[in-house]
């Protein structure tokens, strides 16, 4: 059977995006191959797609001919639309009877204000559906050959945001350090010096390995590995910045081992 036919079969019986409904859909971390079939089916059905700035053009190109694309990151020439404006826009479009797709990077419920958006929809009485996506934190580690959990090394993994780390009342980094479990940080580049300092002050060994995975799963991907003490300075020196995932902990060391073994038996890790 042709691949296209197989997909057609697979896609029959998928839910229908009805007029007046809003679907909040994760587009994955970047690589179109990491888009889910549900996301694909949603993109094909929408007549308006309100999307984040970082969505790959090849994903947006899947939209139907008559569909309108609106970049929520840059609406009305503004550098960034306020969250309340985006939520209001979704409600407004649904009330006009459109089939509305809110396409978000990664997973809609991980650090992307998707929670706020569904609250606003529910409050306004708009029927909605949420479709999960592959989150950048998990895909980023895979892309960097870092096992997110490793038997004998960690029993948990902490997904955290670095946003607000410079504000009072932010995360208790010392408490996170004390768990001994690896951290996977989103939006952490701006405050990385501060975060590293706070983790070390909280008892994390300065030699703990860390990695920055920039633009994970895209052709601009860059991976930097250094210890937690040096990672922020090294990222600056090598101009490795947002959007990036920062991984901290012993799991990062497994990357080196894995790549070393793979290099000895060349071509084991197929890119």
Catalytic sites, residue numbers: 52, 74, 187
Asked if 244 is part of the footprint of ligand SAH (rule: CB under 6 A), the reply reads yes
Contacts of 26 (CB under 8 A, 6+ apart): 36, 39, 104, 105, 106, 107, 108, 131, 132, 133, 134, 135
Cβ 206 to ligand SAH shortest distance, Å: 23
Q: How far apart are CA 69 and CA 43, in angstroms?
A: 11
Pick between residue 36 and residue 218 the one whose CB is nearest to ligand SAH. Answer: 218
Site membership for ligand SAH, residue 164 (CB under 6 A): no
Pull the structure tokens for residue 87: 């939520």
For position 187 contacting ligand SAH by CB under 6 A, the verdict is: yes
- Is 39 a binding residue for ligand SAH by CB under 6 A? The answer is no
Which residue among 245, 248, 251, 252 contacts ligand SAH (CB under 6 A)?
245
Q: What are phi and psi of 213, to 5 degrees?
A: -115, 105
Closest CA to 60 of 86, 42, 79: 42
Residue 111 and residue 258: Cα distance in Å, rounded? Answer: 30
Which string of x and - marks every residue 103-122 that binds ligand SAH (by CB under 6 A)? -xxxx--xxx----------
Establish if 212 lies at the interface with ligand SAH (CB under 6 A).
no
Number of residues located near ligand SAH, criterion CB under 6 A: 24
Residue 27 in contact with ligand SAH, rule: CB under 6 A: no
Residues 6+ apart with CB under 8 A from 223: 143, 144, 211, 212, 213, 214
Residues 77-106 that bind ligand SAH (CB under 6 A): 104-106
Binding status of residue 32 toward ligand SAH by CB under 6 A = no
By CB under 6 A, is residue 136 in contact with ligand SAH?
yes
Instruction: Give the C-alpha distances (Å, rounded to integers) separating 154 from 20, 141, 147, 158.
Output: 45, 15, 10, 11
Residue 211 to residues 23, 152, 177, 179, 256, Cα–Cα distance (Å): 34, 20, 16, 19, 11
Which of residues 47 and 52 has its CB atom nearest to ligand SAH in the complex? 52
Number of H helices, E strands in the chain: 10, 10
Among 233, 242, 261, 263, binds ligand SAH (CB under 6 A): 242
Q: Which residue's structure tokens are 């650090």?
A: 111
Q: CB of 63: closest distance to ligand SAH in angstroms?
A: 20
Closer by beta carbon to ligand SAH, 48 or else 187: 187
Output the smallest distance, CB 215 to ligand SAH, in A. Answer: 5
Q: Is 154 in the site for ligand SAH (CB under 6 A)?
A: no
Quote the Cα angle for 218-219-220, to 5°. Answer: 90
Q: How far is the CB of 84 from ligand SAH (least distance, A)?
A: 18
Provide the CB-side half-sphere exposure for 159 (13 A, CA).
Answer: 14
Q: Which is nearer to ligand SAH, 141 or 204 (CB)?
A: 141
| Interaction site with ligand SAH (CB under 6 A) | 29-30, 54, 104-107, 110-112, 135-136, 140, 186-187, 213, 215-218, 242-245
């Amino acid at each position: 059977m042709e691949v296209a036919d197989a997909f057609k079969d697979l896609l029959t019986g998928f839910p229908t995006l009805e007029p007046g409904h809003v679907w909040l859909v994760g587009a994955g971390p970047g690589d179109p191959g990491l888009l889910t079939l549900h996301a694909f089916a949603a993109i094909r059905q929408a007549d308006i797609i309100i999307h984040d700035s970082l969505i790959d053009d090849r994903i947006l190109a899947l939209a139907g001919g008559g569909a309108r694309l609106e970049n929520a990151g840059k609406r009305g020439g503004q550098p960034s639309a306020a969250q309340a404006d985006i939520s209001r826009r979704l409600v407004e479009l649904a009330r006009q009877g459109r089939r509305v797709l809110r396409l978000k990077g990664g997973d809609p419920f991980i650090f992307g204000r998707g929670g706020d958006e569904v609250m606003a929809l529910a409050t306004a009485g708009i029927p909605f559906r949420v479709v999960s996506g592959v989150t950048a934190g998990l895909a980023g580690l895979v892309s960097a050959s870092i096992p997110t959990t490793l038997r004998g090394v960690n029993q948990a993994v902490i997904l955290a945001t670095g946003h607000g780390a410079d504000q009072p009342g932010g995360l208790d980094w010392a408490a996170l350090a004390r768990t001994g479990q690896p951290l996977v940080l989103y939006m952490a580049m701006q405050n990385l010096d501060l975060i590293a300092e706070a983790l070390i002050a909280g008892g994390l060994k300065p030699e703990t390995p860390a990695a920055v995975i920039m633009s994970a799963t895209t052709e601009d991907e860059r991976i930097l590995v250094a210890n937690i003490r040096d990672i922020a300075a090294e990222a600056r020196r090598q101009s490795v910045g947002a959007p990036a995932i920062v991984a901290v902990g012993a799991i990062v060391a497994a990357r080196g081992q894995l790549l070393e073994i793979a290099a000895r038996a060349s071509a084991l890790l197929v890119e």
